[in-house]
Amino acid sequence: MIALSAPVAPRPLDPVPSPASGIRPRLRGFAAERVFVRRSLILSLRDGETLSMSIMLPVTLMLLFTFVFGGAIEDDGSYVDYVVPGIILLCAGFGAASTATYVSRDMSTGIIDRIRTMPLRPGSVLTGHVIASLARNLVSTAVVFGVALLLGFRPSAGVLQWIAAFGVIAVYILVITYLYAAIGLAAGSPEAAAGYGFILMFVPYLSSAFVPVDTMPTWLQWVAENQPITPIIETIRGLLMGTPLHAQPYWALGWCAAILLISVLWGRWLFGKARR
């Protein structure tokens, strides 16, 4: 006769983790922003053609305007002092335009979808692109200033004026980069983003960047005087060359604040729309 063994008591089940315990907490501080800034800088260094063009194209334009058109505008060779602020803003525009392409490429390649599954702030990837572009463009600006000094650019600014001029340039780079980042989110492809950015590069030509506003046709003078680039250029020119500033700094900072606010809100809305 087979003896029946005593029934074995069931083993207690392991505690089931709650849904909250399986979710990793968000990174504290600015750890995510640091990661994406480093990523964007690495992408910029690997894209040597875009980086070199953002420097070489403004330098080439400065050489063109100084030696080809400068003699017809100022025959005493002082045109370089007038044109440098406009070339600096062109340099910032060329450098920031690549941000639109990088952001649009991230949206189209699926990297943003992977980032959404991570415990990161949604705007950290855009912040990384913007800060990296700011650093990249400040280096390009320094190179353009160096070439301008070799060509005879002789500013009369003191230390405080130089600091203020670089501050205005940095603010403009930040503003235009956020605007290009939002354009990259709105564009359907990296090629379209590059095309939209190329259109914005013509705005400095309709300002006091290369010729005085009073030399333009009457109907065009109103456009040149009431667009954002002219007060920014006149502020930089006044700080570096000692020309009268009047109310130009207030208009420059006001335009920068308005464009930055619109770009940030537009970028957040586009990013949230893409997430949904």
| Integer CA distances (angstroms), 151 to 67, 78, 89, in order | 10, 10, 18
Average pLDDT over residues 201-227: 88
What's the rounded Cα separation, in Å, for the pair 264 and 187?
16
What pLDDT is recorded for position 167? 92
Tell me the one-letter amino acid at 272: G
What's the rounded Cα separation, in Å, for the pair 113 and 111?
5
Share of the chain above pLDDT 70, in %: 76
What's the rounded Cα separation, in Å, for the pair 88 and 100?
20
| 56-85 per-position pLDDT tens digit | 777 887 788 777 776 666 666 678 888 888
What pLDDT is recorded for position 18? 45
When mean pLDDT is compared across 84-98, 163-177, 221-235, the lowest value belongs to 84-98
Q: Which range in 89-93, 109-113, 127-131 is most confidently predicted, on average pLDDT?
A: 89-93
What's the rounded Cα separation, in Å, for the pair 64 and 73?
13
For residue 193, give both structure tokens: 């983003």
Name the pTM for this structure: 0.80
Residue 23: other Cβ atoms inside 10 A: 9
